[in-house]
Amino acid sequence: MHSHNLPYDCIIIGAGPGGLQAAIHLARYNRRVLLLDRGGGRTRHASELENYLGHERISGRRLIDIGLAQVRHFGVSIKKTVVRKLGKSAGLFSVRCKPDVYTAPYVIASSGAGESLPQIKNLSRFFSKSFYTCVDCDGFRTTGKQLLLMGNSMHAVRLAFAMRQMYTKDVTLLACGYRVPDDVAQLLREDSITLRTGEPAELLGREYLNGVRLKDGTMIACQAVMASFGMRLHDSYLSGLELQRDQDGFKILVNADNESSLDGLYVLGALRQGHSQAIIAAGQGATAAIDINRRLLDL
């Protein structure tokens, strides 16, 4: 294992919009910044963002590639690696990624989250094109479409009512391994939302989605899917650190500058509580960087 003795001012874990924006701000204070990223990530999977100021339409991949070029331009060190463990002792963080250990007084965790989705054939063909997982991101694209909402909790039921109110009158709810209470089923009927039960097996169609086949062989016709099966945080390297989380013990709580309950550890994007959108994560990154720089100046 190689220990890099000269500490950085700040180490950023994850090159999503939050981590990249923080890196740009810190580098423009001439700080020594190390950006560690394993590649991939949620933002790269977004085929098209239409709600990011300054871009009428941009793919997530392009947004991240532009951000990486900006970060390189300002001299940030970028390493492609997986962060395995974060520790802290004597006021200094140690960031472990085989075979290296890097140290800094400040760390920004912006490693995001991923969808928990059932195994569905042809998912990659339609993911982010007509199979969606985020209403704030892609709900608008379902406007006027024949929509299948699938999920495994009451959250999916609430989403079905919301989608009908905002985007389309043609909503079918597929409850997967979840029994919708009778009184709620009655409300769904009154709102003309068709209720089905079962497990999705395959998305049907070549260029355009035209339906979903269930494991029992039945088909449901649809032009768009909104899925709600929850998320997994990319936070295993934070295990062992006593961080305050929300009431479900899930998302990490932060203050107005995005600092967690552990002094010097800032948390952005999908890892922290609050709404997760690219432009929001970028704003959080800028805020965290400005705060870290003030502390480095001892102001």
What residues make contact with ligand FAD under the rule CB under 6 A? 13-18, 36-43, 45-46, 49, 51, 60, 82-83, 110-112, 128, 134, 137-138, 234, 237, 269-270, 276-279, 281
Comparison of 16 and 151: residue with beta carbon closer to ligand FAD: 16
Smallest distance from the beta carbon of 185 to ligand FAD, in angstroms? 30
Q: 155 near 134, Cβ under 8 Å?
A: no
Using DSSP, state whether 287 is helix, strand or coil. Answer: helix
Q: How far is CA 184 from CA 33, 160, 169, 220, in A?
A: 52, 12, 18, 21
Residue 113 tokens, joined = 């989250």
Comparison of 156 and 237: residue with beta carbon closer to ligand FAD: 237
Q: How far apart are CA 40 and CA 123, in angstroms?
A: 17
Smallest distance from the beta carbon of 179 to ligand FAD, in angstroms? 29
Comparison of 37 and 170: residue with beta carbon closer to ligand FAD: 37
Comparison of 205 and 274: residue with beta carbon closer to ligand FAD: 274
Smallest distance from the beta carbon of 209 to ligand FAD, in angstroms? 15
Smallest distance from the beta carbon of 137 to ligand FAD, in angstroms? 3
Smallest distance from the beta carbon of 40 to ligand FAD, in angstroms? 4
Q: How far is CA 232 from CA 117, 229, 273, in A?
A: 10, 10, 13
CA angle, corner 257, sides to 83 and 262, nearest 5? 50
Comparison of 14 and 264: residue with beta carbon closer to ligand FAD: 14
In DSSP terms, which residues pair with 202 in a beta bridge? 121, 213
